[in-house]
Amino acid sequence: MKCAEIWCNALALIAPYGLKRELVRGDTFGAALTPPLAATGTTVSILKNAVDSIAIGLEDYSSPDQRRILSCTRNVFAGILLLFKHKLSLLSPLSSDEALIKQRVLPVLDENEHVEWKGKGSKTVDVQGIKERFESLKIDVDWKRIEKINSFRNDIEHYFSNLKHEAIQSLLSDTFLIINDFIRKHLNKDPKELLGDEAWSVLIEVNEVYEREREECLSALQSLNYFDDEILVAFEKYSCEECGSGLILSSVAGSEAINSNFTCKSCGKMLTYEELVNKAVTDHYSYEVYLSHTDGGGSPLADCPQCGGSYLYERGICASCGHTSEHTCQRCSSTIAPEELFFAPFCGYCAHVMSKDD
């Protein structure tokens, strides 16, 4: 089946061709692309759609045709959401018209004048809606990981240029962890039985290969000496900006990190220490930097007065060159703000006054 050719870019959540739309449930999933339902009127359950979507995604992955990587990520992500919707559908009260998977839920009166909540319309809940309902129903799912899969899937469509099979190993590895956990814990089923041997073995294999390679990369990174421990944390979290992979391998082990080069094992992108550290540290502190812009407060990062790289203000050291700056003004003893480090060992004010005195 050539899925890639029939995908519509405008839709984020679409069912693969050949998966029948859930007419009875009124799900609009894939409505724009799927053929009319066969006259048999068979309702294909959400669970079956989920399993098919994941299986087709893994077929896309196994195909030698690199163009199918996009449909792989879409299918797999759509499959995860359908698994979630299946759970919500199971929990919906019988007479509620699948209330839990509908975007709109309205109160109606039954014959005894009791309020009942019923699903209305054909729109089903989106990712945010599923998240809110799961949280309210105390169904725990690793949303951070799902966000990662989702943003990776988005990025792969919009930004990444080097699409190779290896590049989506990390996405499939995350997918494996989510699917395995959710099917066992919340659907009380054996994922191997539910997904079938073939799909399951692809997932297991990708996950094992990825985990093994990731372990190798991490232990090489951990063997290096850094100017500050936070730099290692940032490196461990970093994903390649070309392909999204977390497989960043250092060229040397057991020595100074600044003497190493780094290569993405998935796409081959090479970075010097300075290039990697500035990207990784910026990513690592992006939330704190964002907060410092919106809520005020000091930024955890400053431009290094020595090399212009990322200076870790709270740690008092430049991640890029190892420069340590004076943080206390030698004239007035006030703290030198991140943006005033260029005036160290004086604060901006004192530097200004002293320049007038000259």
Percent of the chain that is helix, strand, coil (3-state, to 5): 50, 10, 40
Strand partners, 300: none
Is the Cα dihedral 209, 212, 218, 221 positive or negative?
negative
The candidate with the shortest Cα–Cα distance to 120, out of 138, 150, 99, 141, is: 99
Please identify, using beta-carbon distances, which residue of 201 and 324 lies nearer to Zn ion. Answer: 324
Please identify, using beta-carbon distances, which residue of 4 and 307 lies nearer to Zn ion. Answer: 307
Who's near 96: CB < 8 A, 6+ residues apart?
116, 117, 118, 119
Calculated CA dihedral for residues 214, 241, 174, 14, nearest 10 degrees: -150
Q: Which amino acid is at 300?
A: P
Least distance from C-beta 74 to Zn ion, angstroms? 20
Strands 301-303 and 115-124, by their bridges, are: unpaired
Least distance from C-beta 236 to Zn ion, angstroms? 16
Please identify, using beta-carbon distances, which residue of 181 and 236 lies nearer to Zn ion. Answer: 236
Please identify, using beta-carbon distances, which residue of 195 and 217 lies nearer to Zn ion. Answer: 217
Least distance from C-beta 9 to Zn ion, angstroms? 23
Least distance from C-beta 24 to Zn ion, angstroms? 44
Least distance from C-beta 244 to Zn ion, angstroms? 7
Please identify, using beta-carbon distances, which residue of 318 and 341 lies nearer to Zn ion. Answer: 318
Least distance from C-beta 89 to Zn ion, angstroms? 38
C-beta of residue 248 within 8 angstroms of C-beta of residue 216: no
**Contact positions vs Zn ion (CB under 5 A):** 240, 242-243, 245, 264, 266-267, 269, 304, 306-307, 309, 318, 320-321, 323, 329, 331-332, 347, 350
Please identify, using beta-carbon distances, which residue of 142 and 228 lies nearer to Zn ion. Answer: 228
User: 156-166 burial, b for 16+ CB within 10 Å, e for fewer?
Assistant: beeebebbebb
